[in-house]
Protein backbone atom coordinates (compact mmCIF):
# COMPACT_ATOMS: atom_id res chain seq x y z
CA UNK A 1 0.00 0.00 0.00
CA UNK A 2 1.40 3.36 -1.03
CA UNK A 3 2.21 6.06 1.51
CA UNK A 4 1.11 9.55 0.47
CA UNK A 5 2.85 12.48 2.13
CA UNK A 6 0.45 15.27 3.07
CA UNK A 7 2.65 17.84 4.76
CA UNK A 8 6.10 18.21 6.29
CA UNK A 9 7.78 21.01 8.19
CA UNK A 10 9.17 22.14 11.52
CA UNK A 11 7.37 22.80 14.76
CA UNK A 12 8.00 23.51 18.44
CA UNK A 13 5.94 22.94 21.55
CA UNK A 14 7.56 25.58 23.78
CA UNK A 15 9.82 28.60 23.53
CA UNK A 16 13.60 28.13 23.09
CA UNK A 17 15.73 26.50 24.37
CA UNK A 18 13.11 23.77 23.94
CA UNK A 19 13.73 21.40 21.05
CA UNK A 20 12.55 21.97 17.53
CA UNK A 21 11.03 19.00 15.71
CA UNK A 22 10.86 17.97 12.10
CA UNK A 23 7.48 16.41 11.34
CA UNK A 24 5.86 14.53 8.48
CA UNK A 25 2.16 13.72 8.18
CA UNK A 26 1.21 11.10 5.61
CA UNK A 27 -1.56 8.62 4.88
CA UNK A 28 -1.51 4.94 4.08
CA UNK A 29 -4.90 3.85 2.87
CA UNK A 30 -7.35 4.84 5.60
CA UNK A 31 -4.64 5.35 8.22
CA UNK A 32 -2.73 8.46 9.25
CA UNK A 33 1.02 8.38 9.91
CA UNK A 34 2.57 11.01 12.22
CA UNK A 35 6.36 11.14 12.47
CA UNK A 36 8.45 13.44 14.69
CA UNK A 37 12.21 13.89 14.85
CA UNK A 38 13.98 15.88 17.56
CA UNK A 39 16.55 17.99 15.69
CA UNK A 40 18.88 18.04 18.69
CA UNK A 41 18.86 14.42 19.85
CA UNK A 42 17.78 12.90 16.51
CA UNK A 43 15.28 10.74 18.40
CA UNK A 44 12.36 9.61 16.27
CA UNK A 45 8.79 8.92 17.33
CA UNK A 46 6.01 7.69 15.12
CA UNK A 47 2.34 6.78 15.15
CA UNK A 48 0.48 4.70 12.58
CA UNK A 49 -2.88 3.23 13.56
CA UNK A 50 -5.27 6.12 13.31
CA UNK A 51 -8.36 4.90 11.46
CA UNK A 52 -9.59 7.90 9.55
CA UNK A 53 -13.21 8.87 9.38
CA UNK A 54 -14.87 8.35 5.99
CA UNK A 55 -15.86 10.94 3.42
CA UNK A 56 -15.74 14.63 4.43
CA UNK A 57 -14.91 13.83 8.08
CA UNK A 58 -11.61 12.31 6.99
CA UNK A 59 -10.60 15.47 5.14
CA UNK A 60 -11.65 17.62 8.11
CA UNK A 61 -9.47 15.53 10.40
CA UNK A 62 -6.47 15.82 8.08
CA UNK A 63 -6.89 19.57 7.63
CA UNK A 64 -7.22 20.11 11.39
CA UNK A 65 -4.13 18.05 12.11
CA UNK A 66 -2.03 19.83 9.50
CA UNK A 67 -3.24 23.24 10.70
CA UNK A 68 -2.38 22.53 14.33
CA UNK A 69 1.05 21.13 13.50
CA UNK A 70 1.88 24.20 11.45
CA UNK A 71 1.66 27.86 12.48
CA UNK A 72 -2.03 27.57 13.30
CA UNK A 73 -1.23 25.86 16.56
CA UNK A 74 1.38 28.33 17.76
CA UNK A 75 0.53 31.01 20.30
CA UNK A 76 2.60 34.11 20.79
CA UNK A 77 3.45 33.44 24.42
CA UNK A 78 2.94 29.65 24.73
CA UNK A 79 0.72 30.24 27.76
CA UNK A 80 -1.28 27.24 28.99
CA UNK A 81 -4.65 28.77 28.11
CA UNK A 82 -3.64 29.55 24.53
CA UNK A 83 -1.45 26.68 23.40
CA UNK A 84 -3.30 24.15 21.26
CA UNK A 85 -0.65 21.47 20.92
CA UNK A 86 1.46 19.75 23.53
CA UNK A 87 4.13 17.08 23.54
CA UNK A 88 4.18 15.22 26.84
CA UNK A 89 6.67 12.56 27.97
CA UNK A 90 5.00 9.29 28.91
CA UNK A 91 6.38 5.97 30.15
CA UNK A 92 9.10 3.96 28.35
CA UNK A 93 10.18 6.85 26.10
CA UNK A 94 6.68 7.07 24.67
CA UNK A 95 5.49 10.60 23.92
CA UNK A 96 1.93 11.86 23.86
CA UNK A 97 1.03 14.41 21.22
CA UNK A 98 -2.04 16.38 22.30
CA UNK A 99 -3.83 18.58 19.78
CA UNK A 100 -6.95 20.58 20.59
CA UNK A 101 -9.27 22.77 18.56
CA UNK A 102 -12.25 24.95 19.45
CA UNK A 103 -15.04 25.76 17.03
CA UNK A 104 -18.60 27.04 16.94
CA UNK A 105 -21.43 25.15 15.24
CA UNK A 106 -25.19 25.65 15.35
CA UNK A 107 -24.78 28.44 17.89
CA UNK A 108 -22.83 26.26 20.33
CA UNK A 109 -19.14 26.18 21.24
CA UNK A 110 -17.39 22.84 20.87
CA UNK A 111 -13.93 21.59 21.73
CA UNK A 112 -12.17 18.60 20.20
CA UNK A 113 -8.98 17.04 21.50
CA UNK A 114 -6.79 14.48 19.78
CA UNK A 115 -4.23 12.45 21.75
CA UNK A 116 -1.65 10.32 19.93
CA UNK A 117 0.86 7.96 21.55
CA UNK A 118 4.08 8.33 19.61
CA UNK A 119 6.19 5.19 19.91
CA UNK A 120 9.99 5.59 19.76
CA UNK A 121 11.54 4.44 16.49
CA UNK A 122 14.85 2.53 16.93
CA UNK A 123 17.79 4.18 15.19
CA UNK A 124 21.18 2.86 14.17
CA UNK A 125 24.21 4.83 13.03
CA UNK A 126 23.02 4.92 9.43
CA UNK A 127 19.72 6.47 10.48
CA UNK A 128 21.53 9.15 12.48
CA UNK A 129 23.80 9.97 9.51
CA UNK A 130 20.72 10.20 7.27
CA UNK A 131 19.12 12.58 9.78
CA UNK A 132 22.22 14.77 9.68
CA UNK A 133 22.14 14.73 5.88
CA UNK A 134 18.52 15.86 5.98
CA UNK A 135 19.58 18.79 8.15
CA UNK A 136 22.31 19.75 5.68
CA UNK A 137 19.99 19.46 2.67
CA UNK A 138 17.38 21.64 4.34
CA UNK A 139 19.97 24.22 5.37
CA UNK A 140 21.25 24.29 1.77
CA UNK A 141 17.72 24.71 0.43
CA UNK A 142 17.06 27.56 2.87
CA UNK A 143 20.34 29.23 1.88
CA UNK A 144 19.44 29.00 -1.82
CA UNK A 145 16.02 30.49 -1.16
CA UNK A 146 17.57 33.34 0.81
CA UNK A 147 19.99 34.07 -2.04
CA UNK A 148 17.17 34.05 -4.58
CA UNK A 149 15.15 36.47 -2.45
CA UNK A 150 18.16 38.74 -2.00
CA UNK A 151 18.92 38.73 -5.74
CA UNK A 152 16.03 37.22 -7.73
CA UNK A 153 17.47 38.33 -11.06
CA UNK A 154 20.46 37.14 -13.06
CA UNK A 155 23.45 39.41 -12.57
CA UNK A 156 26.32 40.09 -14.95
CA UNK A 157 29.61 41.68 -14.01
CA UNK A 158 31.89 43.40 -16.53
CA UNK A 159 35.36 44.61 -15.64
CA UNK A 160 37.14 46.80 -18.18
CA UNK A 161 40.39 48.68 -17.84
CA UNK A 162 42.72 50.91 -19.80
CA UNK A 163 46.49 50.97 -19.63
CA UNK A 164 47.06 52.90 -22.82
CA UNK A 165 50.05 55.18 -22.54
CA UNK A 166 48.27 57.98 -24.29
CA UNK A 167 45.02 57.03 -22.51
CA UNK A 168 42.67 59.22 -24.56
CA UNK A 169 41.69 59.50 -28.20
CA UNK A 170 41.39 62.73 -30.15
CA UNK A 171 37.97 63.43 -28.63
CA UNK A 172 39.19 62.93 -25.08
CA UNK A 173 37.52 59.54 -24.57
CA UNK A 174 39.22 56.73 -22.68
CA UNK A 175 40.55 53.94 -24.91
CA UNK A 176 39.64 50.62 -23.30
CA UNK A 177 41.58 47.38 -23.48
CA UNK A 178 39.92 44.43 -25.19
CA UNK A 179 37.25 42.58 -23.21
CA UNK A 180 35.88 39.03 -23.18
CA UNK A 181 32.21 39.35 -22.18
CA UNK A 182 30.72 36.23 -23.86
CA UNK A 183 28.42 38.18 -26.14
CA UNK A 184 26.92 40.38 -23.43
CA UNK A 185 29.23 43.37 -24.02
CA UNK A 186 31.76 44.48 -26.60
CA UNK A 187 33.76 47.53 -27.67
CA UNK A 188 33.37 49.66 -30.77
CA UNK A 189 36.14 49.58 -33.36
CA UNK A 190 37.69 52.68 -31.80
CA UNK A 191 37.50 50.98 -28.34
CA UNK A 192 36.18 54.16 -26.75
CA UNK A 193 32.58 52.88 -26.22
CA UNK A 194 31.30 49.85 -24.30
CA UNK A 195 28.17 48.39 -25.87
CA UNK A 196 25.53 46.51 -23.82
CA UNK A 197 23.59 43.62 -25.38
CA UNK A 198 21.56 42.54 -22.33
CA UNK A 199 18.74 44.89 -21.39
CA UNK A 200 18.40 45.81 -17.74
CA UNK A 201 19.54 47.98 -14.86
CA UNK A 202 23.28 48.44 -14.38
CA UNK A 203 25.45 49.90 -11.67
CA UNK A 204 28.41 51.69 -13.27
CA UNK A 205 31.52 52.36 -11.19
CA UNK A 206 34.62 54.02 -12.68
CA UNK A 207 37.99 54.89 -11.19
CA UNK A 208 40.29 57.13 -13.24
CA UNK A 209 43.89 57.81 -12.20
CA UNK A 210 45.24 61.08 -13.57
CA UNK A 211 48.38 63.14 -13.77
CA UNK A 212 48.21 66.58 -12.08
CA UNK A 213 45.13 68.48 -13.27
CA UNK A 214 44.06 72.05 -13.61
CA UNK A 215 41.13 73.46 -11.69
CA UNK A 216 37.77 73.04 -13.41
CA UNK A 217 38.52 69.75 -15.21
CA UNK A 218 35.97 66.91 -14.97
CA UNK A 219 35.17 63.35 -16.01
CA UNK A 220 31.94 62.78 -17.95
CA UNK A 221 30.08 59.52 -18.60
CA UNK A 222 28.00 59.44 -21.79
CA UNK A 223 25.35 56.97 -22.92
CA UNK A 224 23.48 56.43 -26.20
CA UNK A 225 25.46 58.51 -28.66
CA UNK A 226 26.60 61.38 -26.54
CA UNK A 227 23.87 61.95 -23.96
CA UNK A 228 25.53 63.04 -20.73
CA UNK A 229 24.64 60.63 -17.94
CA UNK A 230 26.77 62.07 -15.17
CA UNK A 231 29.76 64.35 -14.70
CA UNK A 232 32.29 64.44 -11.87
CA UNK A 233 34.69 67.31 -11.14
CA UNK A 234 38.38 66.53 -10.73
CA UNK A 235 40.12 67.79 -7.61
CA UNK A 236 42.77 70.43 -8.17
CA UNK A 237 46.17 68.77 -7.95
CA UNK A 238 49.38 70.51 -8.91
CA UNK A 239 51.80 68.59 -6.70
CA UNK A 240 51.05 65.01 -7.80
CA UNK A 241 48.72 62.59 -9.49
CA UNK A 242 45.05 62.44 -8.56
CA UNK A 243 42.10 60.13 -9.09
CA UNK A 244 38.36 60.33 -9.65
CA UNK A 245 35.83 57.76 -8.41
CA UNK A 246 32.36 57.91 -9.91
CA UNK A 247 29.32 55.72 -9.78
CA UNK A 248 25.78 55.80 -11.08
CA UNK A 249 22.85 53.55 -11.95
CA UNK A 250 21.24 53.44 -15.39
CA UNK A 251 18.92 51.33 -17.51
CA UNK A 252 20.43 50.11 -20.78
Mapping DSSP onto H, E and C, the string for 158-194 reads CCCCCCCCCCECCCCCECCCCCCCCCCEEECCCCCCE
Each residue of 112-152: pLDDT tens digit? 777 888 888 776 655 666 776 777 777 777 777 777 677 66
pLDDT at position 71: 55
Q: Is 136 helix (H, G, I), strand (E, B) or coil?
A: helix
CA–CA dist 62, 43 (Å, integer): 25
pLDDT at position 98: 81
Q: Average pLDDT by consecutive 10-residue portion of the chain (252 residues)?
A: 77 81 80 81 72 49 65 48 71 79 74 80 66 74 74 72 69 80 82 85 80 70 71 65 76 80
The answer to whether the beta carbons of residues 190 and 172 sit under 8 Å apart is no
The answer to whether the beta carbons of residues 114 and 99 sit under 8 Å apart is yes
Query: Looking at the domain covering 3-121, what would its CATH class be?
Result: mainly beta
| HSE value, Cβ hemisphere, 13 Å, CA-based, for 195 | 10
User: Could you write out the DSSP letters of every residue in 7-53?
Assistant: EEEEEESSSTTSPEEEEEEEEETTEEEEEEEETTT--EEEEEEEEPP
pLDDT at position 110: 77
Angle at 213 (CA atoms; ends 210, 219), nearest 5 degrees: 65
How long, in residues, is the chain? 252
Q: What is the CA radius of gyration of the chain?
A: 33
pLDDT at position 220: 79
- Domain segments of the chain as ranges: 3-121, 199-251
The answer to whether the beta carbons of residues 100 and 113 sit under 8 Å apart is yes
What pTM was estimated for this model as a whole? 0.42
Amino acid sequence: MTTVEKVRGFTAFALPPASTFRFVISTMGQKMDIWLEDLQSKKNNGYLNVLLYPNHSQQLFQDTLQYLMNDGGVSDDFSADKIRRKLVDAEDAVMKLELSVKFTALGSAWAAKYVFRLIPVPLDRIDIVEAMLRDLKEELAETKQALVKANPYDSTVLYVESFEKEGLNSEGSIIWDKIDAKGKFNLTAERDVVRFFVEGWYVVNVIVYLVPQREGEKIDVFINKGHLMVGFPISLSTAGSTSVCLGTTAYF
